[in-house]
Amino acid sequence: MSKTTVFAAEVKAHLTDVIIPFWKKLRDDTYGGYYGYMGYDLTLDKEAEKGCILNSRITWFFANAYTLLKDESLLAEAKHGYEFMKNHCLDKEHGGIFWSLNYDGTPKDATKHTYNQAFCIYALASYYEASKDTEALQMAMDLFALIEEKCTDEIGYLEAFTKDFQPESNEKLSENGVLADKTMNTLLHVFEAYTELYRVTKEQKVKEKLLWMLDVFADKIYNPTLHRQEVFFDAEYNSILDLHSYGHDIETAWLIDRGLEILEDTAYMQKLSPITKDLTAQIYQVAFDGHSLANECDRGKVDTNRVWWVQAETVVGFLNGYEKEPSRQEYLEAALSTWEFIRVYVVDKRKGSEWYWLLDKDGRPVTGEPIVEPWKCPYHNGRMCIEVIRRLADVKGE
């Protein structure tokens, strides 16, 4: 049996035997949605806040798992998530998606963040594909219109707003001691969401925004001298921190390639493909140690911790890089070896758990980091499984 065949079988088994059952058990049938917190000790807090990003991502995951596996129970989970988003996460007065809710579905943090609106679109588009529910698609298109009306300026996407869409400071998507007016991360996930929306609708107005974002990536975000993306910016897209985010670069490479495939625009493919290849090559050279990926390099200091989502994106990113350049056999080997690191170290073998959040470079889990919280969900690792299963039918090689 070939290495890629074993790889695909292991990943599919992990999806069906570990990730899907774990998240099904976090369903809240009393107040809706999915429980928002499980500590490192595997204690589930049923009264923790429910992040709207968390619930959007879970809905996206179950919708895509259903589309792949055709298990009706997965569509039922996606519907459960969708109904929670529709009935609780969506602000009926001012429009848009709240940042978080209390456990009972009442608003907790009414901040409106562009990033959060995007993830709801991502979920709704996938749920529409799975369910054919046109109400979900209309919600997605309404959020698209809202972002374009309220969350942009002439050069990019803005970040944080009050409940009624007055601008406010961007603590939620700023890190490393800076406060950013614009971020690579928000742009990336608006692009990701619009890619999914365009894929299921072929709406020309969505395509136009995707092409516009590709220009921003190429002309403002990508640093050709350093072979990386810049991360945090002032209002005019001047970088405000010397930071190389390894996980975001390998994720961006494959998400832009996915967008280019769906857009089918030759000129933009010629403009962006060299950039995605460069990002992949640079990450392989500076951040990959043969079995896993470091986190980031902040002002010359490398954070060698292994973050769960970074490892998941590494698998997809290098598999994508191999598909784009089959001569780069080392990328396939990198995807395989990162999966082995995940399988052995990142997956929490304790009964009733899923993946650890954080490990050191030698694979020892950092105690205290939660198993579930508003950012820890099946979006990255579940998507890794789905992407591997979908892609390996097209991958040649051992």
Residue 398: pLDDT over 80: no
Q: Tens of pLDDT along 214-256?
A: 999 999 999 999 999 999 999 999 999 999 999 999 999 999 9
Q: Tens of pLDDT along 118-152?
A: 999 999 999 999 999 999 999 999 999 999 999 99
Across the range 287-304, mean pLDDT stands at: 98
- To the nearest whole number, what is the mean pLDDT of the chain? 96
- Measured between its terminal Cα atoms, the distance across the chain in Å is 10
DSSP 76-115: HHHHHHHHHIIIIIB-TTT-SB-SEE-TTSSEEE--EEHH
Residue 180: pLDDT over 80: yes
Please, which pLDDT band fits residue 394 given cuts at 50, 70 and 90? low
Distance CA 360, CA 358 (A): 7
Percent of the chain with pLDDT over 70: 99
Distances from the Cα of 226 to the Cα of 231, 275, 325, angstroms: 13, 12, 22
CATH assignment at residue 288: 1.50.10.10
Residue 396: pLDDT over 70: no
Which tokens belong to 168? 């406010």
Three-class secondary structure of residue 326 per DSSP? coil
Q: What angle do CA 86, 90, 93 make, to 5 degrees?
A: 125
Q: What is the dihedral of CA 157, 253, 57, 365, to 10 degrees?
A: -120
Backbone angles phi, psi at 358, to 5 degrees: -145, 140
How much is the pLDDT for 176?
Answer: 83
Please, which pLDDT band fits residue 166 given cuts at 50, 70 and 90? very high
- Interhelix angle 266-286/308-324, nearest 10 degrees: 130
Residue 260: pLDDT over 70: yes
Distance CA 66, CA 44 (A): 26
Q: Tens of pLDDT along 15-43?
A: 999 999 999 999 999 999 999 999 999 99
Q: Which residue has the higher pLDDT, 398 or 31?
A: 31
Distances from the Cα of 145 to the Cα of 127, 131, 141, angstroms: 19, 22, 6
HSE, side-chain direction, 13 A CA sphere, residue 49: 15
Residue 339, class by beta-carbon neighbours within 10 Å (0-12 exposed, 13-18 middle, 19+ buried)? buried
Q: Which domain holds residue 41?
A: 3-394
Contact, 350 vs 39, CB < 8 A? Answer: no
Distance CA 63, CA 131 (A): 8
Nearest to 61 by CA among 4, 14, 123, 118: 123
How much is the pLDDT for 50?
Answer: 98
Three-class secondary structure of residue 260 per DSSP? helix
Residue 210: pLDDT over 80: yes
Which tokens belong to 89? 């996460």
Q: Tens of pLDDT along 65-112?
A: 999 999 999 999 999 999 999 999 999 999 999 999 999 999 999 999
Residue 286: pLDDT over 50: yes
Across the range 198-217, mean pLDDT stands at: 98
Which tokens belong to 222? 């990508």
Please, which pLDDT band fits residue 307 given cuts at 50, 70 and 90? very high
Nearest to 147 by CA among 93, 204, 194, 92: 194
Residue 175: pLDDT over 90: no
Across the range 307-321, mean pLDDT stands at: 98
The total of structural domains in the chain comes to 1
